[in-house]
Amino acid sequence: MIDYIYYKNGRTYNLNYVDLFSGAGGLSLGFEKAGFKNIFAVEHDKQISKTYKKNFPDNNLLVTDIKKITESEINDLVGNNKVDVVVGGPPCQGFSLAGKNGRTFVDDERNYLFKEFIRFVSVIKPKMFVMENVARMASHNKGETIKEIKSSFEELGYIVQHKVLQAADYGIPQKRQRVFVVGSKLEGFEYPEVFEKQISVKEAIGDLPRLASGQKSSIPNHNAMNHSEQMLKKMSYIKDGGDRKDIPENLRPVTGDIRKYIRYNSKLPSVTVTGDMRKIFHYEQNRALTCRELARLQSFPDDFIFEGNSISVQQQIGNAVPPKLGFVVANEVKKVLR
């Protein structure tokens, strides 16, 4: 079993943060456990917002299209506060065309949410910002995209760095690479040091009650998916850490994503958790992982409750920033702000 009491006790809210594109609240949880107090958060999806509100009932969450929030409204939300850090992971879809036909990443209309992050930073003028995104951003267009992004913030007066972090290096039982772009008005920010030990899937979820296909439990979000007999038969052939090649040829799927029809390796960190993990199976039980097990692989504590149906909850978990990753980054931010 993994020890999920990894947060420091005795939190003091002498620092604050704003969370844009908050999702279920992975970054919010990480920063709050590091001692940051929320000023406001923004999330447009009403279903996801139910999860955020349940777990952060005292936070000022705006459920709206971020584009509709005016500069005047932003200033009203901030009030008399001097904002320490703005955090968030703006969805960016414009990787495929950026760099082609002279079109830049920032100019691509599909990346308007990234522009909104810049707009909020330009209005709020925080001491620091932390922007999380897919690792591909760091290498896209031969590195020109990340240069362009950093330049957009440097024009606002920030010292900007970026680094791709591997979640498994920071006590999170999952292989998940994400780029963290950090800007500061102050010098001295350093990315967190790698932990000595990685956490395996079995260490993370092995203590949870066993469940058969379709079985429910009293633990929030720990309910097994109801698989068909055909699917149960296929998965029964796959060994711990194995894949579709373990399935007899007459039953083996011949098409589809090669990252499906595999079993987690009990001795290693998990593969990347996404919004659809229905065909990646428990290392020894004949079923897919429950939402609670997936949440643990993302480092959410068991008292963090997800609202919605199983498909929505899986997507919320898969799209979240692992709270523990947010926590270790927040602690490095705190060193600069102090």
Q: Give the tens place of pLDDT for each residue, 206-227.
A: 999 999 999 999 999 999 999 9
Q: What is each CA distance from 290 to 3, 130, 219, 230, 320, in whole angstroms?
A: 19, 31, 11, 20, 16
Burial class (CB in 10 A: 0-12, 13-18, 19+), 128: buried
Residue with tokens 């200033």: 75
pTM for this entry: 0.92
Q: What is the mean pLDDT of residues 237-255?
A: 92
Arch. (CATH architecture) of 15-196+322-337: 3-Layer(aba) Sandwich (3.40)
Name the DSSP letter for residue 259.
Answer: T
Alpha-carbon span 252 to 279, nearest angstrom: 13
Predicted pLDDT at 112:
80
| pLDDT at residue number 253 | 86
**291 counts as catalytic:** no
Contacts of 276 by beta carbon, 8 Å cutoff, 6+ apart: 314, 315, 318
pLDDT over 50 (residue 271): yes
Q: pLDDT band for position 95 (50/70/90)?
A: low
> 160 has which bridge partners?
183
Between strands 159-166 and 128-134, the pairing is unpaired
Measured CA distances, 262 to 59, 168, 307 (Å): 39, 19, 28
Q: Single out the catalytic residue among 61, 92, 172, 297.
A: 92
Q: Compute the distance between CA of residue 296 and CA of residue 204 in angstroms, rounded to an integer.
A: 6
* pLDDT surpassing 90 at residue 204: yes
> 3-state class of 13 per DSSP?
coil
In the DSSP assignment, the letter for residue 25 is: S
Residue 293 has pLDDT above 80, yes or no: yes
Share of the chain above pLDDT 70, in %: 90
Percent share of the chain, pLDDT over 90: 82
pLDDT at 48 over 70: yes
User: Do 160 and 181 meet the contact criterion of CB atoms below 8 Å apart?
Assistant: yes
Q: In this predicted model, which residue has the larger pLDDT, 251 or 258? A: 251
Tell me the C-alpha distance between 149 and 222, whole Å. Answer: 40
49: nearest Cα among 31, 70, 24, 86: 24
Quick check: 319 pLDDT over 90?
yes
Res 13: pLDDT: 58
- Looking at beta carbons, which pairs linking 139-146 to residues 24 or more positions away fall under 8 Å? 140/95, 140/98, 140/99, 140/105, 141/98, 141/99, 141/105, 142/99, 144/99, 144/105, 145/95, 145/98, 145/99, 145/105, 146/179, 146/181
What span, in angstroms and rounded, lies between the C-alpha atoms of 326 and 191? 12
**How far is residue 257's CA from residue 205's CA, in Å, rounded to a whole number?**
25
Strands 159-166 and 177-184: antiparallel
Answer yes or no: are the C-beta atoms of 243 and 260 closer than 8 Å: no
* Average pLDDT score, the chain: 91
What backbone phi and psi angles, to 5 degrees, belong to 288?
-75, 165
On the question of pLDDT at 96 being above 70, the answer is no
> Which SS3 state, helix, strand or coil, does residue 108 take?
coil
Cα-based distances in Å from 54 to 167, 193, 206, 323: 26, 32, 27, 16
Domain boundaries, the chain: 15-196+322-337
Spell out the residues 6+ positions from residue 131 whose beta carbon is closer than 8 angstroms to its own. Answer: 87, 88, 89, 90, 117, 180, 181, 182, 183
Is pLDDT of 6 > 50? no
Q: What is the mean pLDDT of residues 312-322?
A: 96
Query: Which tokens sit at 1?
Result: 């079993």
Enter the tokens of residue 102: 């002279």
